[in-house]
Chains A and B, each alone.
Chain A
Amino acid sequence: MLNFIPILKKRKIWCGDKMLFKNTLRKIKRSFGRYASLIVIVFIGTAIFTSLQLCTPNIKEVQQDYYDDTKLMDLKINGTLGLTDKDVSELKKLDQVDRVVGSYSKEVLDNNHTMKVHAIEDDVNRFDLVDGKMPMNDEECLADASYYQVGDIITITEPNHENDLKTHRFKVTGTIYSPLYTGTNYGSSRIGDGTLYSYMFVLKDTFQYDVYTEIYVTLKQSSDDMIYSSNYKDNIEQLTKEIEKVSEKAEKRRYDELTEDMVLQLEQLKQANQMMPNPIYQQNIETLESAIDQVGESKWHIFDRYDSVISYKILEMQYDEVQILANIVPFFFFIVVLLMTSNTMTRMITEERSEMGAMTSIGISNRRIINHYVIYILSSTVVGTLLGFLFGNYVLTPLFYSCFPVHMPEMHSTFHFGLFIILLIFVQALMMTVTIYSCLKLFRQSPANLLRPPAPKSGKKIILEKIHILWNHLSFSWKITIRNIFRYKKRVFMTLVGTAGCTFLILIGFGIQDSIEGVGKKQYTDVLRYENMIVLKNNISDISNSLDAVLKDQVKDPLLLNQTHFKVHTTTDDMDAYVIVPKEDDSNFYKYFAIKSNQDGKTKKLNNNQVYVTTQIARRCDIEAGDKITLEDSDGNTYQVVVGDIIENYVSNYIYMNRFLYENTMKEEWTGNMIVSQNDHSKKQIANHLLDSGEVLSVQFADDLLEDVNGGISGLENVIVVLILIASLLAFSVLYNLTSINISERIREISTLKVLGYTDLETRRYIYRETLIMVVFGIALGLFLTPFAHHYIVNLLQNDETLLLEQIELSSYIYASLITFIFAVIMQYVTHFKLRKVDMIEALKSVD
């Protein structure tokens, strides 16, 4: 009869593959939890890797596009005697230049703040119109969208009653963000209190200069000239040299142009005087000579983006910071991903050893069997990698971007296909290696051996048991727990890594928040203890009766001081600092300024020989007490002073000295330009009253300043949310994976306990106790390791202007531990249902 059964002829190559494929699909369906956890693990790893890797390039791309779109200048030229159309046409002759635009700008005062007025240009330094429309006449302007709204009126005054602008009252017709000012810090100014607060753009005709104040130059672009690239830097350097060549002639031309008539006249007068000496001639000669002298030196200054676009340099620093993170964190995650997936696959393959034995025994080749596991893992990794890449690129990276304190257009992430393919190949290769390795390990045994249950792993005495005093005092269940911990080393290690990583990420998040948020409070309550800061219109040597009358009933205990902006020469470049000199260093001064030594926290008294500098200055200059530092004023004069001590300070940089030392060093008489005091009225009332008096330029309140400091870091909360999100995903996937492997691996053990009469609670305790102990150890490890990384990150994050606190608050330690522990408990709760469902009869009936 058998002869009649037709023989199915199949191509040999397909033999068994269809069934194996079906088997794989069933496996995915049946153990979907495991399959999903593989996807999640790969997803997290890829998302974090992608977002950190792409963060810098993506933001750089935004910046590059923004600069291209707005035609941001590459170089700016200032001339001490102004710049002419002839200069522009000479520069246009240079090969590498694309555009040369002569333009105007001027620093003016808007009531109490210094702002810069620029001319609107079409060919260079364009801007994004946020709201409103372009100005049509001399009385309209575009203003900084961070501070102004359409319809606002800006009234400005020019310093020294100059009249370089046609009008001084502008209506804001539109608000803008200019690429010249992308950060929150606009840099320093030469007038007012030394800080530039905002900017506005007016029509070119509004300026009444007869020469240009600056010339903007843009470089001929090639695609290799990405910002910050060495190519770009080289080109800029070359162009600067070319311009310097032009400048020599141009400087002389401008000088001659200004002095030509006078020199001619002078020569004529001198001739006349020689022929017929006359005291009137003589007097005219002297007047002319001094007039020629007054024209001064003709000199060009060339600035690149580092000098004239404030955030250009800051952003480069921040890119470096992110890059450092990008190099460390993904490495850690890849280790976790590798450990987890290898653990899962090894476990799965071990669990199915009899199935593999059956397959080999019916003659399916090892390669095919391996293939069918490879399909299982690769399908999950492809999904995980793709989702992770998309999430990292389109969600996490823009989120990081939103934390950058810059005003640039929104990010439109592009799909970096190359990186994705590389990542995919890398992850796949990794997973395949893991799977094939696990399979081959099993195939080393004969099929017959595979069909038998694995020889049980022998129990082992642990070292601790040799310490009889300790071991004998442990209760029975503790002995078991401890021995189990030593038995499942790999799993214990991963629990440690997972929970330590989770705690670490959360604590780093909170820690960075602590470091930054504490700064404002420390600075404006501990270090600077005045409640308001009044900038005076004119420098005075004493509080006059009329000013006293203005201050009376508004503020208490006024202290007159001089605050001037200086540059400090550091080991590498210059940094900004304020020199503060009180009229008298009496108790009132120490009430408002805490001059506390960094070393012993003791208050230092100002003296006639030494200055006190704040921490950041000391760090950047690499100096100690007793060393000298060099200060440079806005006219370029330098002064050397001896540092008495380094003092505590967090925001901005200050140098304190007394009046005697100031007058001795600067060789000029001390005058005050600022008053600090305590409020004696409502803030609004004080501000109105003082500003109305006409003697006061601006009033600032300490609590507003504190809010400014804190406001600048609001983006930080996103970072913390991201970190906690990543941490929780990590904790969940690691703990879920480990606990379920733990249960499936020890199902017979659990069933035996149940049969013996263990209650659910007792079974849970037996299984979970070791996990929870390791979670606790993991948390402790995380808490222990975080401060080191935190120290490192904080050092990266702080800049010239702010010093961050290095301390992590106790509450953050508690939160990080609690959150991690809660994650662990939630995971136990989820797997607890699995544990309850364990069917003791099924598990004990047969061998695996």
Chain B
Amino acid sequence: MAFIVFKNVRKEYVREVRVLAVDKCSFEIEKGELVVVLGQSGAGKTTILNMLGGMDFSTSGHIIVDGKRIDQMKKKELVSYRRHDIGFVFQFYNLIPNLTALENVELACELCSNALDPKVVLKQVGLEKRMNNFPAQLSGGEQQRVAIARAIAKNPKILLCDEPTGALDSKTGQKVIELLEDTCRNMGITTVVITHNAMIAEIADKVIHIKNGTVDHVELHSNPKKAKDMVW
């Protein structure tokens, strides 16, 4: 069985009106793959990512990660799943403003027993000189690197990135994508990137196209482009 399996997953929001966000969604991701989930705004990409990351419950269907049924986990188990297996990167970085870059990474490391050395990870993302700066003193790209370092340092099984370049200019964005690519290739962490930018899709092993809350088609690249060769 594949490392990540989505089988007939459905997600309904029942508020004032019933909204079907995701329906009949099925795909598989292998261990160590770099996957891009591509789709227009409102297609349901983030919902899929949230369910995969254990931040939201699915309405029905199977979500299996490393042989475990995520869709059947209770709230408490989900916390532990997020804590040990998942690393998150957001569009707006979400660093803790009152902690330095290093401390932001340390904060995550405190949570897991097999965490990586925060200083080494920051060096790896190229921030060894800005370690003791606070987020407000860093540029957007640098902040996103700290966020990635924070996610990697937990030594997760899966790295989930929600529009990681959404708030960055193209050049900085490219650097961030390069970093994600390196992380996936060198450390072997399964990486899922959500984006509406088709350019980024070119570097993925697998591109999952989402339309109207369901998988439109899956595109495989046997020979993906390198991030640094991308033309924005």
Measured CB to CB, the residues of A under 8 A from B are 455-460, 476-477, 479-480, 483-484, 487, 748-749, 751-753, 755-760, 840-841, 844-847
| Residues 93-109 (chain B) with a chain A CB within 8 angstroms | 94-100, 103, 106-108
Whether A757 touches B82, Cβ cut-off 8 Å, given contacts A459-B134, A751-B94, A841-B56, is yes
Given A479-B103, A756-B83, A756-B107, verify A455-B136 contact (CB < 8 Å).
Answer: yes
**Could you tell me the distance between the alpha carbons of A530 and B82 in the complex, rounded to whole angstroms?**
76
23 pairs, A vs B, C-beta closer than 8 Å? A458-B134, A459-B97, A459-B98, A459-B99, A459-B134, A459-B135, A476-B106, A476-B110, A480-B96, A480-B98, A480-B99, A480-B107, A484-B98, A487-B98, A753-B96, A755-B53, A755-B94, A756-B83, A756-B150, A757-B86, A758-B83, A841-B55, A845-B46
| Contact between A755 and B55, CB atoms less than 8 A apart | yes
Contact indicator B136/A476 (Cβ below 8 Å):
no
User: A480 contacts B97, CB within 8 Å?
Assistant: no
Contact of B88 among A477, A755, A759, A845 (CB under 8 A): A755
Give every chain B residue within 8 A of A483 (Cβ-Cβ): 98-99
* Inter-subunit contact A756/B82 (CB<8 Å): yes
| Residues A457 and B97 in contact, CB atoms below 8 Å apart | yes
Question: How far does the Cβ of A64 sit from chain B's closest Cβ, in whole Å?
Answer: 61
Rounded to whole Å, the gap between the CB of B36 and the closest CB of chain A is: 20
Contact, CB under 8 Å: A460 / B83: no
Query: CA separation between A557 and B95, bound complex, in Å?
Result: 84
Q: By the criterion CB–CB under 8 Å, are B136 and A458 in contact?
A: yes
**B122 → A minimal CB distance (Å):** 16
Q: Identify which of A487, A749, A755, A757 gathers the most chain B CB atoms within 10 Å of its CB.
A: A757
Please report the C-alpha to C-alpha distance between residue A285 and residue B79 in the assembled complex, in whole angstroms: 120
Interface 1/0 per residue, B118-160 and A, CB below 8 Å: 0000000000000000111100000000000010001000000
- Name the residue of chain A whose CB is nearest to the CB of B96: A749
| Chain A residue at smallest Cβ distance from B95 | A752
Nearest CB of A to B121, in Å: 15
- Interface flag for B84 (CB, 8 Å): yes
Q: Are A759 and B79 CB-contacts (below 8 A) given A459-B99, A844-B92?
A: yes
CB distance from A475 to the nearest CB of B (A): 9
Establish whether residues B96 and A758, one from each chain, have CB atoms under 8 Å apart when the complex forms: no
- Which residues does chain B contribute within 8 Å of A751, judged by CB atoms? 94
A457 to B95, CA, bound (A): 12
CB-CB under 8 A from A753, the residues of chain B are 96, 107
Q: Which of B44-78 contact A (CB under 8 A)?
A: 46, 50, 53, 55-56, 76
Specify the chain B residue showing the minimal Cβ separation from A840: B55
Alpha-carbon gap, A757 to B154, bound state (A): 10
Give the complex CA separation of A483 and B104 in angstroms.
Answer: 13
Cβ 8 A contact of B137, one of A458, A479, A748, A755: A458
B113 to chain A, nearest CB (A): 12
Residue of B nearest to A843 (CB): B94
Residues of chain A with a CB closer than 8 A to B111's CB: 756-758
- B27 CB–A CB distance under 8 Å: no
Report which B residues bind A (CB closer than 8 A). 46, 50, 53, 55-56, 76, 79-84, 86, 88, 90, 92, 94-100, 103, 106-108, 110-111, 134-137, 150, 154
B97's partner among A458, A476, A757, A759 (CB-CB below 8 A) is: A458
Q: Which of A457, A476, A757 contacts B84 (CB 8 A)?
A: A757
Q: A755-B55, A756-B108 are in contact. Are A844 and B79 (CB under 8 A)?
A: no
**Given known contacts A459-B135, A840-B55, A841-B56, A756 and B97 CB-to-CB distance under 8 angstroms:** no
Q: How far, in angstroms, from A845 to B90 measured CA to CA in the complex?
A: 8
Report the minimum CB–CB distance from A337 to chain B (whole Å).
29
The smallest C-beta distance from A460 to any residue of chain B, in angstroms, reads 7
Q: Are B94 and A844 in contact (CB under 8 A)?
A: yes
Residue on B with the closest CB to A460? Answer: B134
From A455, which residue of chain B is reached at the shortest CB distance?
A: B136
CA distance A477 to B50 in the complex (A): 28
Output the nearest chain A residue to B98 by Cβ-Cβ distance.
A459
Contact across chains for A459 and B107 when beta carbons are under 8 A apart: no
A758-B86 Cα distance, complex, nearest whole Å: 12
- In the complex, chain B residues whose CB is within 8 Å of the CB of A840: 55
Known A-B contacts: A755-B53, A844-B92. Give 13 more (CB < 8 A): A456-B136, A457-B136, A458-B97, A459-B135, A476-B107, A479-B103, A752-B96, A753-B107, A755-B55, A756-B83, A756-B108, A757-B81, A757-B111
B103 contacts A480, C-beta separation under 8 Å = yes
Q: Chain B contacts of A479 at CB under 8 A?
A: 103
Bound Cα distance from A840 to B90, whole angstroms: 12
The 6 tightest CB contacts between A and B, nearest first, are: A757-B83, A459-B134, A458-B136, A757-B82, A752-B94, A459-B98
Q: In the bound complex, what is the Cα–Cα distance between A74 and B102 (angstroms)?
A: 83
Chain B residues closer than 8 Å to A487, beta-carbon distance: 98
Q: A458-B134, A751-B94 are in contact. Are A757 and B80 (CB under 8 A)?
A: yes
Which chain B positions have C-beta within 8 A of A844?
Answer: 90, 92, 94
- Report how far A749 CA is from B98 CA in the complex, Å: 10
Q: Which residues of B contact A457 (CB under 8 A)?
A: 97, 136
Q: Which residues of A contact B136 (CB under 8 A)?
A: 455-459
What residue in chain A is nearest B54 (Cβ atoms)? Answer: A757
Q: Which residues of B contact A460 (CB under 8 A)?
A: 134
Please pick, from A456, A476, A757, the residue contacting B135 in the complex, using a CB distance under 8 A.
Answer: A456
Q: What residues of A have a CB within 8 angstroms of the CB of B108 in the complex? A: 756
A83 to B150, CA, bound (A): 102
Do B94 and A459 have beta carbons less than 8 Å apart?
no
Shortest beta-carbon distance, B150 to chain A, in Å?
8
Q: List the B residue with the shortest CB-CB distance to A457.
A: B97
- Residues in chain B near residue A459, CB distance under 8 A: 97-100, 134-136
- Closest-by-CB residue of A relative to B136 is A458
Nearest Cβ on chain A to B50's Cβ, whole angstroms: 6
CA A762 to CA B111, docked complex, whole Å: 10
Alpha-carbon distance A757/B84, docked complex (angstroms): 8
Q: Which residues of B contact A480 (CB under 8 A)?
A: 96, 98-99, 103, 107
Query: B110's contact among A456, A477, A755, A847, by CB below 8 Å, is which?
Result: A477
Cα A456 to Cα B84 in complex, Å, equals: 29
Q: Residue of B at shortest CB range from A453?
A: B92
Tell me the bound Cα distance from A846 to B167 in angstroms.
11
Q: Can you name the residue of chain B whose Cβ is closest to the Cβ of A479?
A: B103
List the A residue with the shortest CB-CB distance to B53: A755
By a CB distance below 8 angstroms, the chain A residues around B95 are 752
In the assembly, what is the distance between CA of A480 and CA of B135, in Å? 15
CB pair A757–B79 under 8 Å, yes or no, is yes
Residue of A nearest to B137 (CB): A458
A484 contacts across to B, CB distance below 8 A: 98
A70 to B214, CA, bound (A): 92
Nearest Cβ distance between residue B52 and chain A, in whole angstroms?
13
Considering the chains assembled together, what is the distance between the CA atoms of A692 and B117 in angstroms? 97
Report the bound CA distance from A751 to B92 in whole Å: 13
Q: Which residues of A contact B84 (CB under 8 A)?
A: 757
| Nearest CB in chain B: distance from A476 CB, A | 6
Nearest-CB residue, chain B, relative to A757: B83
Cα of A846 to Cα of B46 in the assembled complex, Å: 12
**CA distance in complex: A476, B99 (Å):** 11
Nearest CB in chain A to that of B97: its residue: A456
Complex Cα–Cα for A751 and B50 (A): 13
